[in-house]
């Protein structure tokens, strides 16, 4: 069984140790490295090429936002899952726009963290409900006139997949709602990422939000 290879980026050693102990109980999860600051996270991401990085926000030398930007520029396929005690707007918007696939608060349970790791590894979103509300209030009411119509970039089916994906639904749930296979959902998402020039579902959703492709009704 292939394991999900994880890099922990967290400056508090007690938190890192607790996360390692929790995650290593799972047969399909493997901790391949630990970083105590943002610069080390970037270096280890390039050296170890993990599948998922659990990223704190407030870290020495380089914060989680800048570390995520650098990592996604160098290693676009890695999934970054933010795990932090802060729900500040600047952190949330900065990390999601940098390409983080998930943003969780440290109040989540162990099972919720494990589920989120599996979700971002599968290319899905893992956003705390507080984060979803903040993203909607940030982008949807303030959208500018549509500079580019969705039909100019995406097919009707691809736009349908993106709208459902924006609600945070899993690939399986998207497939069930649209009456297509999970493999077809994955193929559509890959095509969407390529057409929009993004590397993750979160970036694709932000792309659409900024251009007014979604309304509040679409995402509720």
pLDDT in tens, 170-217: 788 888 888 999 889 889 988 988 888 877 777 787 778 777 777 656
Q: Tell me what the mean pLDDT of segment 159-171 comes to.
A: 81
Query: What is the predicted pLDDT for the residue at 39?
Result: 94
Whole-number average pLDDT of the chain: 84
Task: Enumerate the CATH 1.10.10.10 domain ranges in the chain, comma separated.
Answer: 142-219
Q: Is the pLDDT of residue 146 over 90?
A: no
Q: Indicate if the pLDDT at residue 144 is higher than 60.
A: no
| Alpha-carbon distances, residue 16 vs 13, 36, 84 (angstroms) | 5, 9, 12
Class in CATH terms, 142-219: mainly alpha
Q: What is the DSSP string of 28-77?
A: TEEEEEEESSHHHHHHHHHHH--SEEEE-SS-SSS-HHHHHHHHHHH-TT
Question: Given this model, what pLDDT does residue 137 score?
Answer: 66
Which pLDDT band, with edges at 50, 70 and 90, does 49 fall under?
very high
- Which tokens belong to 11? 């400056």
**pLDDT score, position 29:** 94
Owner of token pair 């407030």: 58
Greater pLDDT, 135 or 16:
16
Q: Residue 219: pLDDT band by 50, 70, 90 thresholds?
A: low
- Whether the model clears a pTM of 0.75, i.e. scores above it, the answer is no
Q: What CATH homologous superfamily does 4-136 map to?
A: Response regulator (3.40.50.2300)
Distance, in Å, from the CA atom of 79 to the CA atom of 85, rounded to the nearest integer, reads 20
pLDDT tens-place string over residues 69-120: 999 988 888 999 999 888 788 888 888 888 888 888 888 888 889 988 998 8
Greatest alpha-carbon pair distance for the chain in Å reads 50
- Outline which parts of the chain fall under CATH 3.40.50.2300: 4-136
Average pLDDT over residues 149-160: 82
pLDDT value for 186: 86
User: Which pLDDT band holds residue 143 (cuts at 50, 70, 90)?
Assistant: very low
């Amino acid at each position: 069984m292939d394991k999900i290879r994880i890099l922990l980026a967290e400056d508090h050693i007690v938190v890192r140790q607790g996360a390692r102990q929790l995650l290593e109980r799972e047969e399909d999860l493997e901790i391949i490295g630990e970083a105590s600051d943002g610069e080390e996270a970037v270096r280890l991401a390039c050296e170890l090429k993990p599948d998922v990085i659990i990223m704190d926000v407030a870290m020495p030398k380089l914060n989680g936002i800048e570390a995520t930007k650098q990592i996604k520029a160098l290693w676009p396929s890695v999934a970054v899952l933010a795990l932090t005690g802060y729900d500040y707007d600047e952190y949330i918007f900065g990390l999601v726009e940098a390409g983080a696939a998930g943003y969780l608060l440290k109040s989540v349970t162990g099972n919720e963290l494990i589920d989120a790791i599996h979700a971002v590894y599968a290319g899905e979103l893992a956003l705390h409900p507080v984060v979803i509300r903040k993203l909607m209030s940030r982008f949807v009411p303030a959208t500018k006139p549509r500079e580019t119509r969705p039909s100019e970039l995406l097919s009707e089916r691809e736009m349908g997949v993106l709208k459902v994906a924006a609600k945070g639904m899993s690939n399986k749930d998207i497939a069930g709602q649209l009456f297509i296979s999970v493999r077809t959902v994955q193929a559509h998402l890959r095509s969407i990422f390529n057409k929009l020039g993004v590397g993750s579902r979160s970036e694709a959703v932000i792309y659409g939000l900024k251009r007014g492709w979604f309304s509040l009704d679409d995402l509720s």
